């Protein structure tokens, strides 16, 4: 029997604690921005906490409304669970609501929370823990079509590009689904596999499970991880690429970035180098792989220079080049026709 991907119960109650800083509540904000239809409400421990413009909802009301999961939407430095959260989390667990988090602290390592979940019949779901019994990749060609976002570096828009591609493709009439490979993506999608937490021998196998056989015209839009040029995370990127067997890929880049973030002795590869190496590696399991566009975070360029910057990149590489959060991805999607 095939190993299932992680599946979260919906709808969500986004838990923000007393966090007021948007940077540390980006998981909750990401879910509210990209999957508002999955969000029943928010739970804040203070009126000063960040407001995601969702209905404020205490645990009792959430339980009566059929909320499936309380999702921890914040990430504190160190990944710990503050003591003043526990009463609320335990109340939700006893009410039968799953507790979902992507923190470094394991939920089931907290005795009172574990006892509350047992009493309520709820699950404690750590999304950074992959499913059991992931197989070694078979390399077998799967039915359906796949698009993977890849990057010149980490943290420059692979997830947001994939989500925008899914949204724009669905609006254009494509049968397309976002496939999450990271913790925040999993919470947004409600399912997925945290690829960077999989033992190395099984990364490509996990990618095969993440995007299984599908209808011939269906597109899986797979969230990329890391960069194949990254000195720390290239192994994850290679495994995801080989297992995904993408028919198409989009290169994601941050304008103005010159070196690998946090590894300043490593210059950033060019977009052309990423296209060439991704095509060469991906051809192992899909000889038809091709690049269909470039997605750029243009925050560092500024609005007045954005159009010229993107036009120059497009002319240089002969591919559509967009900032997906400003222009959408329609020009890239046209390359699939």
pLDDT digit string, tens, across residues 284-327: 999 999 999 999 999 999 899 999 999 999 999 999 999 999 99
pLDDT at 243: 98
For CATH 3.40.50.300, the residue range(s) in the chain are 145-336
Taking alpha carbons only, the member of 293, 326, 243, 23 closest to residue 155 is: 23
* Gap between the Cα atoms of 240 and 236, Å rounded: 6
Bridge partner residues of 263 (DSSP): 260
How confident is the model over 86-92, as a mean pLDDT? 97
Q: Which CATH superfamily is domain 145-336 in?
A: P-loop containing nucleotide triphosphate hydrolases (3.40.50.300)
The more confident residue out of 302 and 149 is 149
Cβ atoms of 52 and 16 closer than 8 Å: yes
The more confident residue out of 105 and 115 is 115
For CATH 3.40.50.720, the residue range(s) in the chain are 6-126
Tokens 């599908």 belong to which residue?
214
* Gap between the Cα atoms of 152 and 275, Å rounded: 10
According to DSSP, residue 13 is labeled E
pLDDT at 75: 78
Sort residue 9 into left (φ over 0), alpha (ψ -120 to 50) or beta.
beta
How confident is the model over 219-224, as a mean pLDDT? 98
Q: What is the pLDDT of residues 233-283, one digit of tens each?
A: 999 999 999 999 999 999 999 999 999 999 999 999 999 999 999 999 999
CATH topology of domain 6-126: Rossmann fold (3.40.50)
pLDDT at 295: 98
* Gap between the Cα atoms of 16 and 43, Å rounded: 6
3-state secondary structure 304-315: HHHHHHHHHHHH
Instruction: State which H helix or E strand residue 222 sits in.
Output: strand 219-222
Cβ atoms of 224 and 181 closer than 8 Å: yes
DSSP assignment of 180-199, as one string?
A: --SHHHHHHHSEE--GGGS-
What percent of the chain is helix, strand and coil (3-state, nearest 5)?
40, 20, 40
82's CB contacts (< 8 A; 6+ apart) are 17, 76
Q: What percent of the chain has pLDDT over 70?
A: 98
Residue 77, pLDDT above cutoff 80: no
Grade residue 43 by pLDDT with cuts at 50, 70 and 90.
very high
pLDDT at 3: 63
Q: What percent of the chain has pLDDT over 90?
A: 89
pLDDT at 79: 66
How confident is the model over 20-37, as a mean pLDDT? 91
How confident is the model over 140-152, as a mean pLDDT? 98
User: 92-116 burial, b if ≥16 CB within 10 A, otherwise e?
Assistant: bbbbbbbbbbbbeeebeebeebbeb
Kindly report the pTM of this predicted structure. Answer: 0.91
* Gap between the Cα atoms of 40 and 31, Å rounded: 11
Residue 1, pLDDT above cutoff 50: no
How confident is the model over 34-40, as a mean pLDDT? 95
């Amino acid at each position: 029997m095939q190993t299932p991907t992680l599946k979260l119960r919906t709808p969500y109650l986004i838990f923000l604690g007393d966090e007021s800083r948007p940077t540390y509540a980006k998981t909750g904000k990401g879910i509210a921005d990209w999957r508002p239809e999955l969000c029943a409400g928010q739970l804040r421990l203070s009126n000063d906490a960040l407001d995601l413009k969702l209905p404020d909802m205490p645990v009792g009301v959430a339980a009566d409304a059929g909320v499936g999961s309380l999702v921890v939407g914040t990430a504190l430095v160190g990944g710990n669970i503050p003591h003043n959260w526990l009463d609320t989390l335990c109340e939700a667990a006893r009410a039968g609501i799953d507790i979902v988090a992507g923190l470094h602290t394991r939920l089931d390592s907290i005795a009172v929370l574990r006892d509350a979940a047992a009493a309520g019949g709820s699950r404690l779901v750590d999304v950074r823990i992959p499913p059991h019994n992931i197989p070694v990749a078979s390399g077998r060609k799967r039915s359906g079509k796949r698009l993977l976002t890849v990057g010149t570096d980490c943290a420059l828009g692979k997830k947001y590009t994939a989500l925008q591609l899914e949204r724009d493709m669905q609006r254009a009439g494509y049968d397309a689904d976002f496939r999450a490979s990271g913790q925040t993506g999993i919470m947004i999608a409600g399912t997925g596999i945290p690829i960077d937490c999989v033992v190395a021998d099984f990364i490509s196998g996990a990618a095969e499970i993440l995007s299984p056989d599908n209808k011939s015209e269906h597109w899986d839009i797979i969230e990329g991880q890391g960069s194949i040029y990254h000195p720390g995370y290239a192994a994850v990127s290679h495994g995801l690429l080989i297992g995904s067997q993408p028919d198409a890929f989009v290169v994601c880049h941050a304008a103005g970035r010159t070196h690998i973030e946090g590894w300043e002795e490593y210059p950033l590869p060019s977009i052309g180098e990423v296209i060439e190496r991704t095509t060469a590696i991906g051809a192992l399991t899909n000889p038809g792989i091709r690049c269909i566009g470039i997605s750029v975070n243009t925050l560092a360029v500024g609005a007045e220079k954005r159009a010229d910057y993107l036009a120059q990149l497009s002319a240089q590489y002969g591919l559509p080049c967009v900032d997906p959060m400003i222009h959408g991805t329609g020009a890239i999607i046209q390359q699939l026709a």
